[in-house]
Structure 1
């Protein structure tokens, strides 16, 4: 048994902290990772389930994007093997409708579905990510952050838009599978339907 996998099994067998996703949600992602893996897996969010995602993509690249430097430090102390990157969101959940209208009115311009996010002028584009992340063709992307459950939160608008652009701008391979957690919430649902369907 590989050391990293053994460590993950021991971690989950000895903790009271459980992932926020349901068993069915985890299994759905696990099946896609099994069929595509090892692959390039980008996760918006860093949490108690991050080690699980890395191990389900064993021998692949799994990168986590997180808005809180303090949270990155806390998780990295426990799991230094995780690849983490800081991300800054300039959106606020209460602006979701205006941002969606901005994207719709600029669909053929700065908010086009296929573009270089690094150079994008769309208000929803996450172009402040580490340059190396733009060089990767991501096989699977999971949007499980940022926070989107209170009015002042960043919301997942920019993460969903940027995941869609990364998926559609891919030049090789078999496309990109994108998962959005909490898709039953209005913003996650409307942005997923707008940009991922």
Structure 2
């Protein structure tokens, strides 16, 4: 049996390698916080908006549980399936644009991703990570829909759901996170990561 200290050291090395391979993405502190939250509910249900090089980390952290990724870019879905055989990726389509994010706050019900399969809507999620879609310029979809959908799924889940919003240094992520997940539910803000408990 592997000791907790050996496992922690192994995870830290793996996360450090990920940070080195992905400069400018997430920080080591951000990755640790997410990894620890998932591992604390190991065997549970984890939903991640966006696939990337960090996807295998979330699968490893939730050994024996369900990790489902929601992605809209066909090329990224193909890469994820090629690099991580057996990964559960659900394709989706976003109809929003970041430039219109303030207007979307007036009709948030239109942001809900109804095109996801019923199993997504019916699952009680323990951890939800919003790290997609892109939101780095006005023409990108922005994360309004993924944050709003995460809030609705978390509210329907049995018990408390840990919801993480990455890139919360950006106005859209910060404002939509506080509006849809509840500013009172904000647990912490570390680097560009916000953690809510809903």
Distance in structure 1 (CA, Å) of the matches to 2:166 and 2:64:
24
Question: 1:84 and 2:89 equivalent?
Answer: yes
Which position in structure 1 is the counterpart of 2:188?
Answer: none
14 and 32 in structure 1: CA distance in 2 versus 1, 3 angstrom threshold:
closer
Tell me which of 36, 56, 59 is aligned to 2:41. 36
**Contact persistence 2:127–2:162 (CA under 8 A):** yes
Distance in structure 1 (CA, Å) of the matches to 2:73 and 2:52:
11
Which position in structure 1 is the counterpart of 2:189?
Answer: none
Unaligned runs of 5+ in 1: 2-8, 104-121
Equivalent pairs counted in the alignment come to 173
Residue aligned with 1:74, SS: helix
Which position in structure 2 is the counterpart of 1:49?
Answer: 54
Distance in structure 2 (CA, Å) of the matches to 1:12 and 1:125:
32
Distance in structure 1 (CA, Å) of the matches to 2:171 and 2:16:
35
Residue aligned with 1:163, SS: helix
**Contact persistence 1:34–1:56 (CA under 8 A):** yes
**Contact persistence 2:38–2:58 (CA under 8 A):** no
Which position in structure 2 is the counterpart of 1:140?
Answer: 127
CA deviation string 1:96-138 (max 9, x = no partner): 00001223xxxxxxxxxxxxxxxxxx21110001222122111
Whichever structure has more strand as a proportion of its residues is: 2
Question: 1:166 and 2:124 equivalent?
Answer: no
Which position in structure 2 is the counterpart of 1:179?
Answer: 164
Of 72-81 and 12-21, more deviation after overlay is shown by 12-21
81 and 177 in structure 1: CA distance in 2 versus 1, 3 angstrom threshold:
same
**Contact persistence 1:66–1:146 (CA under 8 A):** yes
- Please give the root-mean-square deviation of Cα atoms over the aligned residues, in Å: 2.5
CA deviation string 1:128-181 (max 9, x = no partner): 0122212211110000000000111000000000000001122x2x31110000
Unaligned runs of 5+ in 2: 2-10, 183-198
TM-score, normalization by structure 2: 0.80
177 and 149 in structure 1: CA distance in 2 versus 1, 3 angstrom threshold:
same
Runs of 4+ in 1 over 6 A off after TM superposition: 11-16
Tell me which of 132, 145, 149 is aligned to 2:136. 149
